[in-house]
Structure 1
Amino acid sequence: MCAIFGMIGENVEVVKSALNLMQHRGNDYSDIKTNKKYTFGFNRLAIENLEINNQPLKIEDKLFVFNGEIYNYKELIKKYNLNVKTEIEVIAKLWEKFGVEFVKYLDGMFAIAIYDKKLYLFRDEFGKKPLYFTKNAFSSEINPLLKIVKKEINLNALSEYFAYNSSIAPNTIYKGIFKLPAGCYFDGEIKRWHDFEMKNEKCKMENEKVIFNIENLLTKSIEKRLMGDVEIGSLLSGGVDSSLIVALALKYKKIDTFSIGYEGFENYDERKYAKVVANHLGIKNFDFVLTKKKFYENFENVLDSMQEPISDSSFFAAYELAKNIPLKVVLSGEGSDELFLGYRRYDEFLEFFKSYLPNKKWLKKYLERYPEDIKEWEIFRRFFNDEDVFRGINETFFDRQIKRLLKKNAKEVEYKRFLKGWRSFDFTYFDLKVWVGEVLLSKLDKMFMAHSIEARSPFLDKNLVNFVFSMSEEIRGNKKWIIKEIAKKYLPKEIVYRRKKGFALPFYEWLKEENELKRIIDINRKTKLLNEEYLKEIIKTGHKRYKQHIWALYLFSRWVEKEFL
């Protein structure tokens, strides 16, 4: 894990300054290489090959640098008889052998930059490692690029933010700064090297065989993510996903776990479940508390680490947790709910596939006559109009609300590119691209790397995900039944079958207690970006209808205040 930065020309001082801004991503080693046409820089967080593996790598006039982990680099060395020892050398050798196709041989999480006559950028299948670029530079973070790009809001990204909690690649919130989409490479234009494909016509296994294969693939995924020459721990919420990861990891090594909670807010606090798991597995669990005081004290630091607004409140819990973890690597449970349909709202969307309503036209007219500014009304409107009902599990402001909120600044959000017509597998595909790729994985990278910690996600393993996409809808089912069947062998039933809770925190209560909601109005009066009357309506109605909307508005307001006022 590390930071990478590069810029056209022999700009050593600019690159050095950029690396200084990203010291938190790795301060074990730093170096800069230039071929006069391009200059590459690198900060290292040493995890594997502690005494070697330093970058950038320069071979004749070629430059190579990467951020991440290549889990199969030793197998690639053996398979292709490569006379090298490190990941970056493997990348260089494969580039020489396969050109842009080399990336398909890698198993890991990565952002790679290569200069060979021109610049090439590559990003892993899931988007675990960030990679931003402008017309003349690339970076692991946005902040260094703001030194060379005029700071201006991208209105397309602003609409995406209110719809999906984040800008969607290739957009960022800033004009002129782009985000390389997951599974893509850039050689002057963005091209795709990988996409998830559904091949479920080939998979007709019995349930027992499916359970065996999923457990085997997940176990192997965890095993390779335990690679490294440093101590590794795991996040533990007490939910079935993080608990199962810990249980399977114990087959290979003893690990400590880390949890966070909120005193006085029983509905949000999962530490008691983490304690049950730790006692059952015989491990040490360290839990921490995020208080209202720490929430506000951390706010500016979290915004700075986000680099652009991302309205998932759990960023603040992740930041506080990471601040207290004394390790360089942790495992985390992202991806299971999307792969195995663990969200309760997926069940609601599944019901639309079964629905037949003979009075559909009448109901459509009724809804049009009596519009409501709520998500449920919008979902039924789509259904009665034969539109795409599902548009992401994390959709917050829908089209009509965005138009009310932004008025002339509203831009149409392109959601159809994430719908494949795969029925329930649309849920998985869409949410891997948007919710997981743009929000959850950003949280892991940004909040943990702010404290020099690499987070690894075993459920998001390409072999495991490819197998899931080969299953039929009937076999995969929903409500994570496969994961629960595996977990029964390792965990107490109260953990396996407990009601799912999100990684949430009592932000609304804290904002109300400190009278912070008025800040949304006060800041907007200075920027005039949003419709004040609609803001007042949302704030007045409060958490009964607009809880996530309010958080998105508050987070955006604080970000605008920090960056532009």
Structure 2
Amino acid sequence: MCAIFGIIGKYELSEVKKSLDLMLHRGKKYQKILEFKEGVFGFNRLAIENIDKNLQPLKTGDKVFVFNGEIYNYKNLIKKYDLNVNSEIEVIAKLWEIRGVDFIKELEGMFAIAVFDKKLYLFRDEFGKKPLYFTKNGIFASEIKAILPFVSKELDFEALSEYLAFNSSIAPKTIYKGIFKLPAGCYYDGEIKRWFDFERVENKSITKENVSAEVERLLIGSIEKRFMGDVEIGSLLSGGVDSSLIVALASKYRKIDTFSVGYEGFENYDERKYAKKVADYLGIKNFDVTLRKKDFFDNFENVLFHMDEPIADSSFFAAFHLAKSIPLKVVFSGEGSDELFLGYRRYEEFLGFFNAFLPNKKWLKKYLERYPEDIKEWEVFRRFFADEVVFRGINETFFQRQINKALRKNAFEVDYERFYKNWGSFYFTYFDMKVWLGEVLLMKLDKMFMSNTIEARSPFLDRDLVNFVFTLPEDVRGSKKWIVKEISQKYLPKEIVYRRKKGFAVPFYEWLKEEKELKRIIDINRKNKIFNEEYLKEIIKTGHKRYKQHIWSLYLFSRWYEKEFL
């Protein structure tokens, strides 16, 4: 893993060096700047595979290549194409010569790739595991902070509406006007084009009797791929079934240490006792750390720095604190299982709307509109009675009416339809892979662990496994992660497999109230005048009873805005 940076056009070498230095946390072993006629590429390296090789950027003739990530199948590609090369970057260069832009379809892994061949090309993996930002005048980087010195900072209000709705701006937008992020599964050659997307093609030969064995086989294969590298690998362990199953399967192949985080004085948030039970059961070492209120506030500015733009998931702070204590370069993580196998309890609620029938829907729609309530339940039923798409992401926070109330001006309509698929419950999975996973959870893994020079790998988010899940009949996939639980029974105690799911949450609300921090939302807003103050006061006064996540979104944005603009 590493950081990449480049400019096509005029530049000052000293400024290029400063931008790379802003991303040294992504790779401290090696830095190289390669100048060529049309521009410059730069690279910071965290060595995991081919530790003494794989030096970048690579120039072959008049073409230049640089990439961040891991290509799990690069050795197979060397054999397939009979290539006389040794490293991932050399494979990329050779495949470019053979297949042009279609080379990307051969790669399996997580990556952000830049190629200069008469013009700039940028590529991003199908899940969006590795970030890639760019401007339309030829600058690109692994992190926004490396681009900011070259642009005038301006807030993108369309992206702010997306942030309020989904906890993050949604690619191709970022919170900064003029800085874009390449969407997952896309490439850029002056225009954004899609090279991969997940499709729904049902395979009725798959049954409840044979599905678990196939998922298990694919998951084991995914873990084996992700053992690639010349360094020791560990795993995050929450004590939930997903991370526990990854650890159980991985420990069959190699010694693996695990790492957990908990909270002082908040047992309802703390899952370390379950992580310890899993580690003891498997006979492995688990190391845990405690995130205290002081750590939370002491780390705040650092987390904002590495976050780059506001992303309203409080677990970023737990991930950052945990990463600081991990002495390894690579860890596994359990992201993706809940979305693939409908593990969130709220999915059950949305599933209920598929078969619901009410003969008086139009009358009920008019009744709801006549007596509006500022709560999610009201909005969900309004959509149902109005024959609108009910589900708009598991992480939807502010719905459109609330966005319109919250913003004094420049409240944009959030476009959820670009992720709509008429796929039944598989629409939930597709939407959340694009938004919740792609823009929030995977950014957490990359940004918070790379802030401490650690690469995080997610075995559930494997192309072969996800493609298989999208072929399952509805009744075979079912819900509540029954497939994952059935597999897990072979490897884990039932107490872990069937315990009630808890989210990876941080007691932020309690800490903000204790430290009287909520007033900062109002104080900062009086300086930037972005939000409607009366509505902010209503949200803060009502608090966790209705607006807990709203408050966190507003507080995080306020702290970020204060840091960047005030």
TM-score higher than 0.5 here? yes
Indicate conservation of the 8 Å contact 2:340/2:429, yes or no: yes
Structure 1 residue 358, shift from structure 2 partner = 1.3
Give the percent of matched residue pairs that are identical in Structure 1 and Structure 2.
75
Structure 1 residue 55, shift from structure 2 partner = 0.3
Aligned residues: CA RMSD: 0.7
Tell me what 2:437 maps to: 436
Tell me what 2:177 maps to: 175
Indicate conservation of the 8 Å contact 1:9/1:36, yes or no: no
Tell me what 1:164 maps to: 166
Q: Distance in 1 between matches of 2:207 and 2:24?
A: 51
- Is 2:338 the counterpart of 1:359? no
- Is 2:8 the counterpart of 1:8? yes
Partner of 1:58: helix, strand, or coil? strand
Paired letter, 1:162? L
Structure 1 residue 360, shift from structure 2 partner = 1.5
Q: Distance in 1 between matches of 2:365 and 2:230?
A: 61
Paired letter, 2:199? E
Tell me what 2:447 maps to: 446
Structure 1 residue 323, shift from structure 2 partner = 0.6
- Is 2:513 the counterpart of 1:508? no
Deviation larger for 313-322 or 363-372: 363-372
Indicate conservation of the 8 Å contact 2:25/2:450, yes or no: yes
Indicate conservation of the 8 Å contact 1:35/1:62, yes or no: no
Q: Distance in 1 between matches of 2:538 and 2:245?
A: 43
Q: Distance in 2 between matches of 1:276 and 1:514?
A: 34
Paired letter, 2:422? G
Q: Distance in 1 between matches of 2:433 and 2:245?
A: 21
Tell me what 1:301 maps to: 302
- Is 2:143 the counterpart of 1:146? no
Structure 1 residue 14, shift from structure 2 partner = 2.4
Structure 1 residue 203, shift from structure 2 partner = 3.6
Please give the per-residue CA displacement for 1:429-483, whole angstroms capped at 9, x wherever unaligned. Answer: 0000000000000000000000000000000000000000011111100000000
Indicate conservation of the 8 Å contact 2:334/2:460, yes or no: yes
Task: Map residues 104-503 of structure 1 onto 2, 5 A cutoff.
Answer: 104-134=105-135, 135-200=137-202, 202-503=203-504
Partner of 1:407: helix, strand, or coil? coil
Partner of 2:546: helix, strand, or coil? helix
Paired letter, 1:493? K
Please give the per-residue CA displacement for 1:137-185, whole angstroms capped at 9, x wherever unaligned. Answer: 0000000111000000001100000000000000000011000000000
Q: Distance in 1 between matches of 2:385 and 2:62?
A: 60
Gaps of at least 5 residues in structure 2 are none
Structure 1 residue 425, shift from structure 2 partner = 0.4
Aligned length: 564
Partner of 2:253: helix, strand, or coil? coil
Paired letter, 1:143? K
Q: Distance in 1 between matches of 2:35 and 2:70?
A: 24
Indicate conservation of the 8 Å contact 1:185/1:192, yes or no: yes
Paired letter, 2:80? K
Partner of 1:68: helix, strand, or coil? strand
Structure 1 residue 36, shift from structure 2 partner = 1.7
Paired letter, 2:161? S
Tell me what 1:519 maps to: 520
Indicate conservation of the 8 Å contact 2:134/2:141, yes or no: yes
Indicate conservation of the 8 Å contact 1:405/1:531, yes or no: yes
Tell me what 1:71 maps to: 72
Partner of 2:409: helix, strand, or coil? helix
Please give the per-residue CA displacement for 1:242-280, whole angstroms capped at 9, x wherever unaligned. Answer: 000000001210100000000210110000000000000
Partner of 1:4: helix, strand, or coil? strand
Gaps of at least 5 residues in structure 1 are none
Paired letter, 1:63? V
Partner of 1:251: helix, strand, or coil? coil
Tell me what 1:560 maps to: 561
Please give the per-residue CA displacement for 1:80-102, whole angstroms capped at 9, x wherever unaligned. Answer: 10000000000001110000000
The normalised TM-score by structure 2 is: 0.99
Q: Distance in 1 between matches of 2:38 and 2:340?
A: 44
- Is 2:92 the counterpart of 1:94? no
Indicate conservation of the 8 Å contact 1:322/1:451, yes or no: yes
Indicate conservation of the 8 Å contact 1:71/1:107, yes or no: yes
Indicate conservation of the 8 Å contact 2:336/2:437, yes or no: yes
Q: Distance in 1 between matches of 2:379 and 2:336?
A: 27
Tell me what 1:45 maps to: 46
Q: Distance in 2 between matches of 1:58 and 1:51?
A: 18
Partner of 2:116: helix, strand, or coil? strand
Q: Distance in 2 between matches of 1:264 and 1:66?
A: 43
Please give the per-residue CA displacement for 1:539-563, whole angstroms capped at 9, x wherever unaligned. Answer: 0000000000000000001001111
Partner of 1:393: helix, strand, or coil? coil
Please give the per-residue CA displacement for 1:56-89, whole angstroms capped at 9, x wherever unaligned. Answer: 0000111000000000000000111000000000
Partner of 1:153: helix, strand, or coil? coil
Indicate conservation of the 8 Å contact 1:38/1:115, yes or no: no
Indicate conservation of the 8 Å contact 1:183/1:193, yes or no: yes
Indicate conservation of the 8 Å contact 1:184/1:192, yes or no: yes
Please give the per-residue CA displacement for 1:179-220, whole angstroms capped at 9, x wherever unaligned. Answer: 0000000000000000010001x2422223211110000000
